[in-house]
A and B are shown apart, each in its own frame.
Chain A
């Protein structure tokens, strides 16, 4: 770990003063020292700061986040996240690929919300193309997006509860996750990174039997969520770990640009599905769950309540699924149906152009924000008129939300740091891209 190099050089007498007893300027001066330092604090006691390195390989960091925490006893005095350990260069790679080949790459950014990544990118490109998406495609997108939201929250709940010691939650959550992944596999052929959403609509219409299976799932999901609440929400250990720990007020969160369940837990009903509806979200009746305290327990409850709301949206979208095409009939953008290639020369030419060069997008810029499981996921696309984007940038909510770690865990116990990190739910693939 670290060698004691302070003025006294001993680790014997650790001051157990509370958070309020420390002078901030004094603390800042001693914080500069990387190793453990000990200073006299009067009455024969010393204060010590220990710099502790978490990660990048640590099971509680939910990926490869690295945190440098300055501790005084068990209290976190300062924290610095270090990111970039899964930097993949996705934004740069996207510039080298034609628009429709960008989708699989961009899906792998925030790897728990792949439908959302594809949706944000396709939405931005559709804005540039001024393309109308058929209503059936919009509804199919909503069904998959909301299933993905449930899936993402399930992984969050399973792993976070594991961090807090509730091991069995992991098995329950992953059981439901497998059910959702089976649905994804049924509609697209892949469990993860499905590339289902594409420019102009979706890749394929849903297969026979899919609607029935989805209906069965959304009938069951609220009951499952009730069971999770029975296990967790009144569990004394969980309440002690979450309730009242690490609250952050909404002004601080808004100042940092934090969105999603973290902001809603602080009492701000900001949800882009309501604030700026896209993909016909305004057709559905759902509530935006918000918290009151802004502590870890509210963050847990807000995400948990979204299980019910997302199930409701899927059910409504399934019930009101309009007939019609699942992708835009614009042959300049969408591939022609396979059977047309045998009979129509024009279809063959379109197919050839799309597969070799891809479609061209008029020059311009577009920013398309959507509500991902973690907050505002925006995709910025600049086009120079060619078939490849000049710039693709993602405003990833994990990256922005990670900023709230420091105000959250300052002067909190180190055990609360683990709980807070779980409740922030950062996906490092999205942070580093």
Chain B
């Protein structure tokens, strides 16, 4: 799907856009030093453009410099990776450490993931923080199914990934019933570890590393959408 669209970039770029789709839009762009005179001339150019004084060849050149192309997919996944709404969902010990990534020391708001949503229908990411008992597993799967696409799951802590120190009759590893995107080890993991997991998830989303988990777990298109006739199961 090589659908190309033009996306306005915030910074002008000197590369020739006709050479192919630019890939540097979502790379850090604050690398090269800019000469102050060059900066000033571009400022004036921008002012002229906004005033409508730029015409003809000058306008064409300006547009060529200021506009870069990318694919829709790339732009969407860039935005998707940077605007994850996690679900307010705690199970056990790890939930306390999950709470502390929101707190002042780690402050997940730096990365834009601080908007925890209480309703699965508004959330993109479920962090399974704690041990999953056999009684809880169907509930978790249902909550996951209630989340709308695109959705992601992080399994936090040893219990959730491999039943941890307990490893007994009461627990289920989350991989048995849910397509988990990132596992964060630890008992409980430090908040830094969870942070790393979330950033790794962002990387995965932006690079389209889907790995076919959904198909394998039969977890595509499982959203619960209520029809008008069926309101009893809400």
Q: Which residues of A contact B (CB under 8 A)?
A: 1-3, 56-59, 63-64, 84-90, 92-93, 104-105, 108, 111-112, 155, 158-159, 170-171, 174-175, 177-178, 191-193, 428-429, 432
Q: Within B165-204, which residues are at the interface with A (CB < 8 Å)?
A: 165-171, 187-188, 190
Instruction: Please name all residues of chain A whose beta carbon is closer than 8 Å to the beta carbon of B88 when the two chains form the complex.
Output: 59
A112 CA to B94 CA, complexed, in Å: 11
Please state if A175 and B103 are interface contacts (CB–CB under 8 Å).
yes
Min CB distance A103 to B, Å, is 11
A158 CA to B99 CA, complexed, in Å: 10
Please state if A105 and B103 are interface contacts (CB–CB under 8 Å).
no
Min CB distance B191 to A, Å, is 9
Q: Which residue of A lies closest to B159 (CB)?
A: A88
Q: Can you spell out 11 A-B residue pairs with CB atoms less than 8 angstroms apart?
A: A2-B232, A3-B232, A63-B91, A85-B139, A87-B133, A89-B168, A105-B165, A171-B104, A191-B188, A192-B96, A428-B92
Please state if A193 and B187 are interface contacts (CB–CB under 8 Å).
yes
A90 CA to B169 CA, complexed, in Å: 10
A292 CA to B133 CA, complexed, in Å: 40
Q: Within B39-64, which residues are at the interface with A (CB < 8 Å)?
A: none
Instruction: Choose among B89, B103, B166, B187 the residue that contacts A174 (Cβ–Cβ < 8 A).
Output: B103
Using A86-B130, A92-B169, A175-B104 as known contacts, list a sample of 16 further A-B pairs with CB atoms less than 8 Å apart, ordered by residue number in A.
A57-B89, A59-B88, A84-B133, A85-B133, A88-B131, A88-B166, A88-B170, A108-B92, A111-B93, A155-B99, A171-B104, A174-B103, A177-B103, A192-B96, A428-B92, A432-B133
Please state if B231 and A178 are interface contacts (CB–CB under 8 Å).
no
A171 CA to B139 CA, complexed, in Å: 30
Known: A86-B131, A92-B168. A178 touches B118 (CB 8 A): no
Instruction: Please name all residues of chain B whose beta carbon is closer than 8 Å to the beta carbon of A432 when the two chains form the complex.
Output: 133
Instruction: Choose among B96, B133, B169 the residue that contacts A111 (Cβ–Cβ < 8 A).
Output: B96
Please state if A89 and B136 are interface contacts (CB–CB under 8 Å).
no
Instruction: Please name all residues of chain B whose beta carbon is closer than 8 Å to the beta carbon of A174 when the two chains form the complex.
Output: 99-100, 103-105
A192 CA to B103 CA, complexed, in Å: 17
Min CB distance B194 to A, Å, is 12
Q: Within B121-151, which residues are at the interface with A (CB < 8 Å)?
A: 130-131, 133, 135-136, 139, 143
Classify the interface of chain B: helix, strand, loop or mixed: loop
Known: A105-B166, A178-B105, A192-B188. A84 touches B135 (CB 8 A): yes
Instruction: Choose among A2, A56, A177 the residue that contacts B136 (Cβ–Cβ < 8 A).
Output: A56
Instruction: Choose among B165, B167, B170 the residue that contacts A108 (Cβ–Cβ < 8 A).
Output: B165
Please state if A93 and B166 are interface contacts (CB–CB under 8 Å).
yes
Please state if B133 and A88 are interface contacts (CB–CB under 8 Å).
yes
Q: Within B67-111, which residues are at the interface with A (CB < 8 Å)?
A: 88-93, 95-97, 99-100, 102-105
Instruction: Please name all residues of chain A whose beta carbon is closer than 8 Å to the beta carbon of B97 when the two chains form the complex.
Output: 191-192
Q: Which residue of B lies closest to A101 (CB)?
A: B165
Q: Is B234 an interface residue (CB 8 A)?
A: yes
Instruction: Please name all residues of chain A whose beta carbon is closer than 8 Å to the beta carbon of B133 when the two chains form the complex.
Output: 84-88, 432
A267 CA to B234 CA, complexed, in Å: 44
Instruction: Please name all residues of chain A whose beta carbon is closer than 8 Å to the beta carbon of B93 when the two chains form the complex.
Output: 108, 111, 192-193, 429
Instruction: Please name all residues of chain B whose beta carbon is closer than 8 Å to the beta carbon of A193 when the two chains form the complex.
Output: 93, 187-188
Q: Which residue of B lies closest to A191 (CB)?
A: B190
Please state if A177 and B100 are interface contacts (CB–CB under 8 Å).
yes
A159 CA to B131 CA, complexed, in Å: 21
Instruction: Please name all residues of chain B whose beta carbon is closer than 8 Å to the beta carbon of A104 when the two chains form the complex.
Output: 165
Instruction: Please name all residues of chain A whose beta carbon is closer than 8 Å to the beta carbon of B95 when the two chains form the complex.
Output: 63
Please state if B171 and A171 are interface contacts (CB–CB under 8 Å).
no
Instruction: Please name all residues of chain A whose beta carbon is closer than 8 Å to the beta carbon of B90 when the two chains form the complex.
Output: 63-64
Please state if B135 and A178 are interface contacts (CB–CB under 8 Å).
no
Instruction: Please name all residues of chain B whose beta carbon is closer than 8 Å to the beta carbon of A2 when the two chains form the complex.
Output: 232
- Per CB-CB distance, the 4 closest pairs between chain A and chain B, nearest first, are A174-B103, A89-B170, A111-B93, A89-B168
Instruction: Choose among B120, B136, B190 the residue that contacts A64 (Cβ–Cβ < 8 A).
Output: B136
Which of A64, A170, A175 gathers most chain B CB within 10 Å? Answer: A64
Instruction: Please name all residues of chain B whose beta carbon is closer than 8 Å to the beta carbon of A108 when the two chains form the complex.
Output: 92-93, 165-166
A178 CA to B171 CA, complexed, in Å: 30
Q: Which residue of A lies closest to B134 (CB)?
A: A87
Please state if A87 and B170 are interface contacts (CB–CB under 8 Å).
yes
Min CB distance B106 to A, Å, is 9
Q: Which residue of A lies closest to B232 (CB)?
A: A3
A281 CA to B165 CA, complexed, in Å: 32
Min CB distance A9 to B, Å, is 14
Q: Which residue of A lies closest to B231 (CB)?
A: A3
Please state if B92 and A57 are interface contacts (CB–CB under 8 Å).
no
Which of B93, B143, B171 gathers most chain A CB within 10 Å? Answer: B93
A431 CA to B46 CA, complexed, in Å: 65
Min CB distance A248 to B, Å, is 27
Please state if A64 and B103 are interface contacts (CB–CB under 8 Å).
no
A3 CA to B143 CA, complexed, in Å: 22
Please state if A88 and B171 are interface contacts (CB–CB under 8 Å).
yes
A94 CA to B168 CA, complexed, in Å: 11
Min CB distance A154 to B, Å, is 11
Min CB distance A145 to B, Å, is 18
Instruction: Please name all residues of chain B whose beta carbon is closer than 8 Å to the beta carbon of A155 when the two chains form the complex.
Output: 96, 99
